[in-house]
């Protein structure tokens, strides 16, 4: 029986999978710790060739973004969505051709075309060759029309996928590219400093990898470069603002802590990171499709996860009629006051009633103007600074005057109209409901609403916007018919 603890799912080992794993241990025992250099590329690829072909998937050689690889196209294939697959092999081994059947299984289950990138390998091509090629392939997929790109990878390719995820999200925040929709990684190598305790504690349980093996392949890739660089070890990167991530790890592998620690850091940064822990499973076990029930289940979970996170499939939850509009008196002594922006203005917080998500909007609205009917999957808070508006919430109208703060529940239909006869001004805050830490992270506590707040400099405002964007999760808005 699968059990769940917060965002961690534990999957038990079945009797059939236990027998299959025992047989696999015997088969791979001669290779343990020995696949460290270019001479091992043939044997490594032979192991991956055991993954059965998926029915209805066509394989073509492609060059995307200047990077060669294999295009795995299922029939039918989802339009406007693509998966970029980054293969494992310690940055020294692996190829798109060898991984084609495993990637084809993912393509078939997700009904999405998969591009397996043949990024350059060490020692011939050391850091930053791998991330440069992965990045180029991602940009190439976007350039050819992919509106949704998910990044998937295993082992070293899993770590590379997480590095790339942070890179493209940072670019998107800066307005220089398209963000990824989601990421899935299997047995990811996230820490090339090799500090995870499981490297030693699970050494005898892992039938393939050893700490020395990782040290050798890592050194071939780094060639003296700092292993703590976030472009090498995603565990040490800035994880705030990343899209949803799903991780899979077996309990019988030395990289267990690489996955666990990354998931913990991601969740601490506000990322929707879910980790699936598979009892008794070994390194990159999902590649054993048709042999392990757990492999089929893991790919099924991957497919469900991506389907839920393609932008075309994102749906807002239904409105909860038990959640009511809250209008806050600015002089309520129970309020906490957080300075955010402006000459004299402070955001008002009221604990669990606090609303909003992601962005701060200083909005001016012309007379008789205002946004049309809409709803968000986040709670929203705004304070009217100047003027008077007629606010409509679930069809009920309410007059809102200057100085009043309004908290709007998530998913509730609403709109407003400026009826003041002049331009009105309001400050709208959108961040995760009840997440006071967000406000505290980007602002500071002050004594009262009348406390003067110095207008921030351009540099301070730029830093504030950057901080808010880093802390910001993705959000959705649905426009409604009048």
Residue 283 designated active-site: yes
Q: Tokens representing 449?
A: 């609403």
Catalytic hit among 155, 187, 220, 424: 155
d(CA 291, CA 167): 36
Nearest alpha carbon to residue 475 among 385, 364, 361, 339 = 361
Q: Please, are residues 106 and 73 in contact by the beta-carbon 8 Å criterion?
A: no
Sign of CA dihedral 285, 288, 293, 299: positive
Return the H-helix or E-strand segment holding 218.
Answer: helix 211-222
Catalytic hit among 11, 87, 101, 283: 283
By residue count, the chain amounts to 482
Q: Tokens representing 171?
A: 């670019």
Q: Tokens representing 323?
A: 């959640």
- Parallel, antiparallel, or unpaired: how do β-strands 245-250 and 182-186 relate? parallel
d(CA 290, CA 133): 32
Q: Please, are residues 114 and 82 in contact by the beta-carbon 8 Å criterion?
A: yes
Angle between the N-to-C axes of helices 96-110 and 293-309, in degrees from 0 to 180, rounded to the nearest 10: 70
d(CA 55, CA 78): 16
β-sheet bridge partners, residue 425: 364, 386
Nearest alpha carbon to residue 313 among 267, 244, 373, 248 = 244
Kindly give, in sequence order, each residue whose CB lies less than 8 Å from that of residue 380, ignoring residues fewer than 6 positions away.
355, 356, 357, 407, 408, 428, 429, 430
Q: Please, are residues 388 and 401 in contact by the beta-carbon 8 Å criterion?
A: yes
Q: Please, are residues 160 and 129 in contact by the beta-carbon 8 Å criterion?
A: no
Residue 6 designated active-site: no
Q: Please, are residues 81 and 147 in contact by the beta-carbon 8 Å criterion?
A: yes
The Cβ of residue 216 has, within 10 Å, a number of other Cβ atoms equal to 16
Catalytic hit among 253, 379, 380, 470: 253
Kindly give, in sequence order, each residue whose CB lies less than 8 Å from that of residue 233, ignoring residues fewer than 6 positions away.
159, 190, 191, 192, 193, 227
Residue 220 designated active-site: no
Q: Is the peptide bond prior to 76 cis by the omega test (within 30 degrees of 0)?
A: yes
Enzyme catalytic residues:
155, 253, 283
């Amino acid at each position: 029986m699968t059990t769940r603890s917060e965002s961690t799912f534990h999957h038990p080992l079945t009797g059939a999978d236990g027998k299959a794993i025992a047989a696999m241990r015997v088969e791979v025992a001669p290779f343990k710790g020995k696949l460290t250099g270019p001479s091992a590329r043939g044997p490594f690829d032979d192991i991956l060739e055991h993954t059965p072909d998926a029915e209805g998937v066509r394989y073509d050689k492609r060059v995307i973004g200047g990077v060669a690889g294999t295009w795995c196209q299922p029939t039918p294939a989802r339009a406007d969505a693509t998966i970029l697959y980054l293969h494992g092999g310690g940055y020294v081994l692996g190829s798109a051709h060898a991984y084609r059947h495993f990637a084809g299984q993912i393509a078939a289950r997700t009904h999405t075309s998969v591009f397996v990138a043949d990024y350059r390998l060490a020692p011939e091509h050391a850091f930053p060759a791998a991330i440069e090629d992965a990045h180029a392939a991602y940009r190439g997929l976007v350039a050819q029309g992919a509106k949704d790109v998910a990044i998937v990878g295993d082992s070293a390719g899993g770590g590379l996928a997480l590095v790339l995820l942070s890179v493209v999200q940072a670019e998107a925040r800066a307005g220089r590219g398209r963000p990824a929709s989601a990421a899935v990684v299997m047995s990811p190598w996230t820490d090339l400093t090799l500090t995870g305790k499981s490297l030693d504690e699970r050494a005898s349980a892992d039938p393939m990898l050893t700490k020395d093996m990782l040290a050798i392949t890592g050194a071939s890739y780094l060639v003296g470069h700092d292993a703590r660089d976030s472009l090498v070890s995603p565990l040490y990167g800035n994880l705030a603002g990343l899209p949803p991530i799903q991780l899979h790890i077996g309990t019988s592998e030395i990289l267990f802590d690489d996955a666990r620690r990354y998931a913990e850091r991601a969740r601490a940064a506000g990322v929707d990171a879910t980790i699936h822990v598979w009892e008794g499973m070994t390194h990159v076990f999902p590649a054993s499709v048709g042999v392990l029930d757990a492999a089929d289940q893991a790919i099924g979970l991957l497919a469900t996860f991506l389907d839920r996170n393609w932008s075309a499939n994102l749906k807002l939850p239904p409105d909860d009629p038990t959640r009511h509009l809250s209008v806050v008196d600015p002089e309520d002594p129970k309020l906490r006051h957080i300075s955010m922006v402006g000459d004299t203005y402070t955001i008002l917080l009221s604990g669990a009633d606090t609303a909003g998500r992601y962005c701060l909007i200083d909005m001016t609205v012309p007379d008789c103007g205002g946004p049309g009917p809409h709803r968000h999957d986040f709670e929203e808070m705004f304070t009217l600074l100047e003027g008077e508006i007629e606010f409509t919430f679930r069809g009920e109208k309410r007059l809102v005057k200057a100085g009043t703060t309004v908290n709007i529940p998530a998913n509730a239909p609403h709109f407003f109209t400026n009826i003041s006869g002049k331009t009105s001004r309001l400050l709208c805050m959108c961040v995760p409901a009840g997440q006071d830490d967000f406000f505290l992270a980007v602002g500071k506590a002050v004594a009262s609403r009348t406390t003067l707040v110095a207008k921030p400099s351009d540099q301070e405002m730029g830093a504030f916007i950057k901080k808010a964007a880093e802390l910001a999760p993705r959000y959705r808005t649905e426009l409604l018919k009048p």
